[in-house]
A and B are shown apart, each in its own frame.
Chain A
């Protein structure tokens, strides 16, 4: 079956419309059910003694005093817990040369970052567990600390894991074309160095897990705030020596995740192992300090890059040398090499050029481990690319828009393979740029900017084109050996009252996945959206799937839901045709009733069909199929990833006396293919932009040379706040993917991908008359004043 998406008046036209989220009222009324809301009989709480050192040998652990605290039930050291949970090594076969060391749930003989869990104290309450934890005495012998990225591989730098032989965990060099020759002969070469600040995701709901092991059944039930329930099922089973079928992961409401909650965390594995060892439910809710020191960090990159252009501004070559520090371990199971790998894959992505060289060097450090966080690698690649393009335009005295017009891949050039060997099915850079310029009145803003400069007011306009990787196939993780599903499924069922239940393997973290699924299913089956109940986040009841990450929920999960819904509709119509003595081809389902397809006239409400099928099956012909449950799965196969594209613009004012930046307005035009729910997509873009602005202006994990995190609190780690955020205008160009009927690509990371580059370019545009330039994020007043030569 196909759907005529071009006709907004078609029956049940929910796809493409803003439909209220079914869970919004529940969450706003405080009726959500997060892990910490769940209280089980005989439940215990765990608190962790964490390392105060960035690198030290554990000499002894004395738990005697702690064990005597009232309410403390049991204490586990690393050695004791290792008997209940096997260690892991986070590598992927397709990332050649990637290496890491075995990591335990609790540190066994050595700690490698401040905040690493060392001892678990289990008690009747979290407060009692903390009372006990405060009395555990751990004796450490401090070891030399590695913090700097660029010197991590020097011979004089101590090794974090001597068994690995060096501090290099991954290196990849990609080269296409005669890069050195092109640079040597180019009309103009522009070089720049960039830094992106190490930052983290800061979810409203911290990481949370409640593990409940029932020894009588050998059954482990884990209530988990996660993005990937089936992945966690597999991992908990493997490391706790349980059959996969005996592990059930339930993921209820999740208060934000942004990639933070798609990884394996040692303290969460410890919690599950303790529950199994003690045969009791055990809860762990990370507090804010634990979140800052143990949630994955990201984006700790230092880059030297250059671009070669001809006299007309045509890009000839890009050369990128990326260095990143990932902490002491590659994070399990997705690994910490992906971010650097993405930088290699994505630099130069929007542009048509031939010669490309990019190298990423991924090194170990004694800091919190880094891993995939919203828009993995994209904001870094976009900042490098768009920074270079703007500097190139400046060198030629060319307008930043004009140089992009001359270099963006033409809208009719697809399919197209980039010099990084990324394959693009269909993108719309020029149409998106044209729409952006119209939305923002680019010429008008330039005139305003020029007029204000006469008055000593320094405003800047920054443009950033970008590509975004969405709808990943098994080429992302599966081929590397990780049990992470790229396929996803949906089961759709019609109940006797004509209502529909949809169970999906993708998950809801607050972004509206369930609303998207509900409207897709409502349209596919032909029922009012309010009659669709969506169930996600339960490995025991939903089809097997990957969960929600890499912007795959709508593109993969949505298509599975669409196909399942269409299959259910077909089943319903088979029954209806028999009951109405009509041909199924001549019938349709409109607004919850079987209708005549040609006239739209209602023939029979679904309640009646349900009544007959479920209670008076005797009246239907023997052998008539009456399968009112249908399951479909979807996986992409033509392209490894569905790339999307977009372009952002930032308009801001720099107070050149203080170095403060005031964001005035922000625009984003992006192309995520079919837009299923315009409001949800726009809010995804806006939220993504805010996180991108966080990286550009505010967020940075500050470490001292001893590896101490200096700002692990909400007062000193600055997240972007509403008062400073600009008005954001969002526009769309729609180039549906042909891989699916739905045609949807991902939209969750586009905002984050392009915003830092747009802000950087805008600041530099503002500073240009004064001769300053910033390339080190976040762009604090101190860095802007330094660029101006003021301080």
Chain B
């Protein structure tokens, strides 16, 4: 199919992008890496959508250490996450997740802001944000606000973003001494969306386990987390995932298989962080 005719405008800077977004009154979409958006336009799923191209907005790029936070600009490509020393050192869960995202060509273009705004429940980065308790930095005409990842992913492909807002960066707490992180997934083929995935952040103060591919959003497995913090065995914690996760049946696997795979992943991730 061919994309329906759509308007296109390139934003010069962040205020320009925000102003274009405001003027579009919800009729436009932000074009970052375009790895999901362009495909949906070509399938005519997104209707006649105008595009606001933010690829020229310099202030959206870059990874920097700011105090106890790693600030990652919204336009940061997956490939940059995979090759960044700062990411590897301070948030290894993201460094482990990045190579698992789709294929090299997609990682070269796809951005962290795009992935979070799209909010595919089977995607790696939203789960990373949730496990790491990151803040999503969002800007609109009324200014900037910070949304905790736990509040950001509302439902299937639905976030807390208002129609005149865009993601400008994420702020991720850096790993503390003694902290171990693990991102693992089970995908049918290299680059596929996983049947189930886990981002485990094992902090001295407590464990956070976010799962992807097992519900309408990335899900924090609070029941299993509390059990682990109480000293429960991995098997005991894995048994509690039934109450934490909401997997669905689809063509790739029945819900029960996804739940089972999530349990395997929890045990394997714990084995990795506590080995």
Contact = CB atoms under 8 A, between A and B. Distances in A.
A interface majority secondary structure? loop
Given A127-B2, A721-B189, A781 B44 contact: no
Given A131-B4, A718-B188, A782 B254 contact: yes
A28 interface: no
Interface string B186-200: 101111110100000
Interface residues of A, number: 30
Interface stretch (B139-147, B152-160, B255-263): B255-263
B2 A130 contact: yes
Interface residues of B, number: 24
Interface string A692-726: 00000010101000000011000110101101100
Contacts of A710: 251
B1 interface: yes
Interface in A764-791: 780-782, 785, 790-791
Interface in B240-275: 251-254, 256-257, 260-261, 264
Interface string A422-462: 00000000000000000000000000000000000000000
Contacts of B3: 127
Contact of B195 (A720, A781, A790): A781
Given A131-B4, A711-B251, A782 B257 contact: yes
A660 interface: yes
A658 B264 contact: yes
B267 to A, nearest CB: 9
Nearest to A131: B4
Contacts of B257: 659, 781-782, 785, 791
A698 B4 contact: no
Interface in A106-133: 125-127, 130-131
A134 B189 contact: no
Contacts of B190: 721, 723-724
Contacts of A791: 254, 256-257, 260
Contacts of B2: 125-127, 130
Contact of A780 (B1, B43, B253, B264): B253
B5 interface: yes
Interface in A308-333: none
Interface string B178-208: 0000000010111111010000000000000
Nearest to B43: A289
B193 A715 contact: yes
A130 B1 CA distance: 7
Contacts of B253: 780-782
Contact of B44 (A126, A130, A720): A130
A412 interface: no
Contacts of A9: none
A130 B189 CA distance: 33
A660 B195 CA distance: 11
A657 interface: yes
A785 B192 CA distance: 20
A347 B89 CA distance: 59
A191 to B, nearest CB: 27
Contacts of B256: 791
B191 A721 contact: yes
Contacts of A711: 251
A126 B3 CA distance: 10
Given A287-B1, A782-B254, A723 B189 contact: yes
A352 B138 CA distance: 73
Contacts of A127: 2-5
A658 B5 contact: no
Contacts of A781: 186, 188, 195, 253, 257, 261
A716 B189 contact: no
B262 to A, nearest CB: 11
A723 B254 CA distance: 25
Contacts of B189: 698, 718, 720-721, 723-724
Contacts of B252: 716, 780
Nearest to A711: B251
A785 B260 contact: yes
Contacts of B192: 715, 718
Query: Which among A131, A702, A721, A791 has the greatest number of chain B C-beta atoms within 10 A?
Result: A791
A130 B5 CA distance: 11
Nearest to B196: A658
A130 B3 CA distance: 9
B264 A657 contact: yes
Contacts of A658: 186, 261, 264
A718 to B, nearest CB: 6
B4 to A, nearest CB: 7
Contacts of B251: 700, 702, 710-711, 716
B101 to A, nearest CB: 14
A714 to B, nearest CB: 10
Query: Which among B190, B191, B192, B260 has the greatest number of chain A C-beta atoms within 10 A?
Result: B260
A781 B188 CA distance: 8
Interface string A285-320: 001010000000000000000000000000000000
A724 B261 CA distance: 20
Contacts of B254: 782, 791
A654 to B, nearest CB: 14
Nearest to A657: B264
B269 to A, nearest CB: 13
A698 B186 CA distance: 15
Contacts of A698: 188-189
A7 B109 CA distance: 56
A623 B262 CA distance: 86
Nearest to A785: B257
Nearest to B267: A657
Nearest to B48: A131
Nearest to A659: B257
Nearest to B265: A658
A134 B44 contact: yes
A283 B190 CA distance: 36
Nearest to A702: B251
Interface in B68-123: none
B154 to A, nearest CB: 23
A127 B191 CA distance: 31
A791 B2 CA distance: 42
Interface in A718-750: 718, 720-721, 723-724
Given A715-B193, A781-B253, A660 B44 contact: no
Contacts of B186: 658, 660, 781
11 contacts: A127-B3, A130-B2, A134-B44, A289-B43, A657-B264, A658-B264, A711-B251, A723-B190, A723-B191, A791-B254, A791-B257
Given A131-B4, A659-B257, 16 more contacts: A127-B4, A287-B1, A658-B186, A700-B251, A702-B251, A716-B252, A718-B189, A721-B189, A721-B191, A780-B252, A780-B253, A781-B188, A781-B261, A785-B257, A785-B260, A790-B260
Interface of B: 1-5, 43-44, 186, 188-193, 195, 251-254, 256-257, 260-261, 264
Interface of A: 125-127, 130-131, 134, 287, 289, 657-660, 698, 700, 702, 710-711, 715-716, 718, 720-721, 723-724, 780-782, 785, 790-791
Give the 5 A-B residue pairs with the shortest CB-CB distance, closest first.
Answer: A723-B190, A127-B2, A702-B251, A782-B257, A791-B260
